[in-house]
Amino acid sequence: MTLVTAFAAVAACGSDADNSAAPPAAGPHSMHAGASSAPPQSLRAGERFLDLKMAEAYTPTAPEGGGTDEYRCQVIDPGLTKTAFVTGTQFAPENVAIAHHAIVYAVPPDRAALVRKQDAMTPGLGWQCFGGTGVPGADVEGDDQGATWVDTWAPGATETLLDQDIGFKLGPGSLIILQIHYNLLATDGKPAGSDRSAVRLRLTDGTPQTRELETWSLDAPTDLPCAADESGPLCDRAASIADVTKRFGPDVGESADRQVEECNPGGVPKPGNIQTCDQKVPAPMTLFAGFGHMHLLGRAIKVELNPGTPNAKVVLDVPQFDFDNQRLMKLPSPVEIGPGDTLRVTCTHDARLRRQLPQLKKLPPRYVVWGDGTSDEMCTGIMTVSPRKS
């Protein structure tokens, strides 16, 4: 269990979106249309804007074998020559007709070469990606950690803005990755023009009192069997793990059993819709915010502090998970935690959603385990924290 330094992670504390209602009941993967972002708030003392744009326009196309969605990652070099702190972000879609949602990632200097290699080996602008950056060693989950989730945009989102003397450190040589979900449903899978979207970072040099934020990823197993009326070769857990291993390699393929060993008493899988995992807090820290990450079969996610005790507290609750609206939720006030405390993440998935989603309903049924693909799942509570000395 490690704390990962967030170079520009989920900078949404204090944003309008933080205090919004739960995702609409349209479902866990609503096909909403694009919309423009609102103007940013004025700069505060010591802040400056850095406007970044895709290197060139990109024309999305339907994936091979049919479908109406493309997930494309593209790298942008912010060109920083000195360290700065990110205090706000705003994604600006150009082609709002097809820009369905977007995620902004940051990659530290020591992982930048991995991203440039991935970009160079893929024809055209950027590369295909889904649950993360798609770059081994510079991703946001599991053993491939090395990038940080900066922000998520969905239609109607405003600028995200930190409202305390805290920030996410962005070092010289860091890279920004934009993952844009292009939804071609309205055009029957045909191209609907090009897109050259942008993102604006709000930067500051920080002060001697600025608290540097980090992210702590709380993972639980995914052991979601096929629905009662489904059958097929991949409905067997071992066969599904072998398939994930074939697609993503042994590091990802071993995740299912490794998480079961870490989270379940006796290391025995517990097939079902609901999975949990308890993690001990390793050091003193302040908890500021968090958000949940699952894939298309996710229904709900929750993170609890010291469950089952008189001091129990829910610190993250997403009762209607929406893959396209994975928003960071600011705590009403910071919470101090430390050794002796426990955080529990609980995820609810639903295999029946497979029949409703264009990305999944043509795929064979499977016993869903942890993996990076569209048909795989994850269960992660990503918490925004700042270490403290005591």
pLDDT tens digits, 149-163 = 878 787 777 888 878
Q: Could you give the CA distance from residue 152 to residue 20 in angstroms, rounded to a whole number?
A: 14
User: Token digits for 157?
Assistant: 């989102």
DSSP assignments along 331-386, one per residue:
EEEEEEE-TT-EEEEEEEE-GGGGGT-TTTTTSPP--B-B-SSTTSB--EEEEEEE
Residue 20 pLDDT: 32
Which segments in the chain show pLDDT lower than 70?
1-39, 63-68, 141-144, 185-191, 390
| Chain segment 38-69, per-residue pLDDT in tens | 667 899 989 999 999 999 999 988 766 556 67
Supply the CATH number for residue 328's domain. 2.60.120
DSSP state of 62: P
Domain for residue 5, yes or no?
Answer: no
Does one domain contain both 56 and 141? yes
Does one domain contain both 281 and 304? yes
Does one domain contain both 123 and 253? no
Domain for residue 36, yes or no?
Answer: no
Neighbours of 147 (CB within 10 A): 30
Q: Could you give the CA distance from residue 375 to residue 361 in angstroms, rounded to a whole number?
A: 10
Does one domain contain both 188 and 224? no
Residue 38 pLDDT: 61
Does one domain contain both 192 and 165? yes
| Chain segment 86-132, per-residue pLDDT in tens | 888 899 999 988 887 888 888 999 999 999 999 999 888 999 887 78
DSSP assignments along 277-297, one per residue:
EEEE--S-EEEEEEEEE--TT
Domain for residue 327, yes or no?
Answer: yes
384: Cβ–Cβ under 8 A, 6 or more apart, which residues?
A: 6, 9, 10, 13, 213, 214, 215, 287, 288, 289, 290, 328
Side-chain half-sphere of 64: how many Cα atoms within 13 Å? Answer: 1
Residue 186 pLDDT: 61
Length reported for the chain: 390
Does one domain contain both 80 and 177? yes
- Computed from CA positions of residues 163, 215, 48, 178, in that sequence, does the dihedral angle turn out positive or negative? negative
Range of 347's domain?
A: 215-387
Residue 13 pLDDT: 34
Q: Could you give the CA distance from residue 280 to residue 333 in angstroms, rounded to a whole number?
A: 21
Does one domain contain both 272 and 296? yes
**Most distant CA pair in the chain: distance in Å?**
61
Residue 183 pLDDT: 78
Q: Which helix (H) or strand (E) holds 114?
A: helix 112-120
